[in-house]
Homo-oligomer: A and B are copies of this chain.
């Protein structure tokens, strides 16, 4: 896709394949940079959100680290205000903290996502972020 090529040209790491996923509202591009294994215990994904795309609320039993490499995005933990994210930002998400992240409505957004302590188990996926909440972030 042409828009995929454009974001690839601006991105640091490979953008990968465009996928749709029941845990996301909107399309997302995914490249596995480091696979899940028992040698490194450090799966790393490059995740690119098209404008308006965000994931559902979820939790990681071992935590997660996000490293923003391109664009503008949102990050929210349950009970807290939405944070805006930009290139160079780093977010450390504690184990079992309910949160969501994604692009702003008008920007592509790319982050590395590192699954920390992956031996503690898979993400627990929860409800979507409603359109009215997403579009009323300020």
**Overall SS of chain A's interface:** loop
Task: Assess the A40–B116 pair: CB atoms within 8 A.
Answer: yes
Task: Assess the B67–A116 pair: CB atoms within 8 A.
Answer: no
Closest to A112 in B: B67
Task: Assess the B95–A42 pair: CB atoms within 8 A.
Answer: no
A14 in the interface (beta carbon within 8 A): yes
Contacting chain B: which of A21-29, A73-81, A86-94?
Answer: A86-94
Q: How far, in Å, is A33 (CB) from chain B's closest CB?
A: 5
A114 in the interface (beta carbon within 8 A): yes
Using a CB–CB cutoff of 8 Å, the interface residues on chain A facing chain B are: 12-14, 33-34, 39-42, 44, 63, 65, 67, 69, 87-88, 90, 92, 94-95, 112, 114, 116-117
A-B CB contact pairs (8 Å), 10 listed: A14-B88, A34-B90, A34-B92, A40-B116, A40-B117, A42-B42, A42-B65, A44-B65, A67-B112, A114-B114
